[in-house]
């Protein structure tokens, strides 16, 4: 075990300000910190006052939850707005499989947070208790020049991916597990000095119904809510089962109907919903899910989706529930731990934070967390370029076809590849 981080005592003040049109303009061009959806969102500004970074067996959501409770308990909060995203806020991104991943899991508290909910906006200033200097008001900065990435196949190319799917199907036929989610990677570079806010803005504009996020170099637009906690209530959205959008209105209706009646996709979806309900049952009352999934429409595909809601028991925080729920069957498989071990063998790369939890938590323990999908991890720059890696996966169950699963990963990679290009 590593020594726990030394936590400062903080003073937090939130006040309402005039409405803000574009929160992203206030973010750091080289290291944006943001969480956005339609006309709601928060953006962190400045070098983080607190950075909780954990790796290996210590990097569990439970460890983060305990550390966050300690930090929040020692913080003085003056919040005159009292909306989701006000007061003390930490932005987080956690590794998918911390036991084997080289990627650290982090929770960041910036000195300034600017937020918006509809026609209301606020400014949160965060300082150490012994720092008497006033926090400077953030200023919007013009976007830098347009740029594009150079991308190509990663460690797991199309042929290798189909071979891994075939191996997974053989294991399913042998009864080793019922479902496994297998991913492949795309790698490339972007120009050094690129304004990464352009990537955030492109995703937020093209996919407004997703959670657009930027935390510690992980940038993406996820359609899948892991868990939202507010005022003692929890909600989650399960996505499993996918088909590309049609080429025209008539073809699109056919595609949606095919997904809604696909035995393979419905089976995959039931695995995912059942996993979430069983996981949340000990931590919630009045827990319920829709009887049948609905077709969630995104610009490039349809998903089968089910919403889940309930009342939190035992005063669990958002981070507590992240720890309980991750990894879900939707991004790992069933049984989950068996699938995780198989993923380590079948994927020839480190997922890093792809398919891990990403989101924010406040001083009350409330927060919003998504699964890090449709995303890219931005690496450390050199003199000329910045490395970037993106992933996409598909759920493999009995009846899956390797060529079809490869096509699904291509469709899922499209949002982040188009935004990078």
CA dist 392 and 373 (Å) reads 7
Active site residues per annotation: 179, 224
- CA distance to 37, 150, 155, 212, per residue, from 410 (Å): 24, 17, 15, 20
DSSP labels for 284-316? EEEEEE-SS-EEEE-SSEEEEEEEEEEEE-TT-
Q: Measuring CA to CA, which residue among 341, 75, 109 is closest to residue 215?
A: 109
**Which residues, in sequence order, are CB contacts of 134 under 8 Å at separation 6+?**
none
CA dist 306 and 280 (Å) reads 15
Residue 391, Ramachandran bin (φ over 0: left; ψ between -120 and 50: alpha; else beta) = beta
Provide the 3-class DSSP secondary structure of residue 202. Answer: helix
- The number of beta carbons lying within 10 Å of the beta carbon of residue 136 is 11
How many degrees, rounded to 5, is the angle at CA 228 between CA 396 and CA 33? 90
Phi–psi pair at 91, nearest 5 degrees: -95, 135
Contact 347, 339 (CB under 8 A): no
């Amino acid at each position: 075990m590593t020594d726990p981080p030394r936590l400062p005592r903080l003073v937090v003040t939130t006040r309402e300000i005039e409405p803000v049109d574009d929160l992203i303009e206030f973010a750091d061009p080289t290291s944006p910190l943001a969480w956005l959806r339609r006309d709601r969102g928060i953006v962190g500004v400045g070098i983080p006052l607190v950075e909780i970074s954990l790796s290996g067996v210590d990097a569990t959501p439970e460890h983060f939850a305990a550390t966050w409770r300690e930090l929040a308990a020692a913080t003085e909060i003056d919040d005159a707005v009292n909306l989701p995203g006000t007061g003390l806020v930490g932005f987080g991104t956690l590794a998918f499989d911390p036991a084997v991943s080289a990627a650290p899991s982090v929770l960041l508290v910036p000195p300034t947070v600017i937020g918006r909910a509809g026609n209301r906006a606020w400014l949160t200033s965060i300082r150490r208790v012994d720092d008497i200097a006033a926090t400077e008001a953030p200023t919007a900065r013009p976007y830098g020049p347009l740029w594009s990435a150079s991308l190509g196949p990663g460690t797991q190319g199309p042929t290798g991916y189909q071979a891994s799917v075939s191996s997974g199907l053989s294991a399913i036929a042998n009864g080793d597990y019922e479902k496994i989610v297998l991913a492949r990677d795309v790698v490339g570079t972007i120009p050094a000095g690129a304004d990464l806010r352009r990537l955030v803005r492109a995703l937020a504009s093209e996919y407004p119904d997703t959670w657009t996020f930027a935390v510690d170099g992980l940038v993406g637009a996820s359609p899948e809510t892991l868990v939202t906690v507010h005022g003692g209530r929890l909600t989650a959205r399960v996505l499993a089962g996918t088909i590309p959008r049609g080429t025209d209105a008539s073809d699109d209706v056919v595609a949606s109907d095919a997904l809604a009646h696909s035995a393979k996709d419905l089976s995959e979806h039931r695995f995912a919903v059942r996993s979430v309900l069983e996981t949340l049952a000990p931590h919630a009352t009045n827990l319920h899910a829709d009887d049948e999934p609905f077709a969630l429409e995104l610009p490039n595909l349809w998903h089968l989706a089910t919403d889940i809601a309930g009342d939190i028991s035992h005063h669990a925080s958002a981070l507590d529930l992240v720890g309980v729920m991750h990894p879900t069957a939707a991004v790992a498989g069933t049984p989950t731990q068996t699938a995780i071990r198989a993923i380590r063998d079948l994927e020839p790369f480190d997922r890093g934070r792809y398919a891990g939890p990403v989101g924010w938590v406040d001083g009350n323990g409330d927060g919003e967390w998504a699964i890090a999908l449709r995303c890219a991890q931005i690496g450390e720059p050199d003199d000329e370029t910045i490395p970037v890696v993106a992933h996409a996966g598909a759920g493999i169950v009995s009846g899956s076809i390797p060529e079809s699963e490869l096509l699904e990963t291509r469709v899922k990679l499209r949002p982040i590849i188009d935004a990078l290009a």
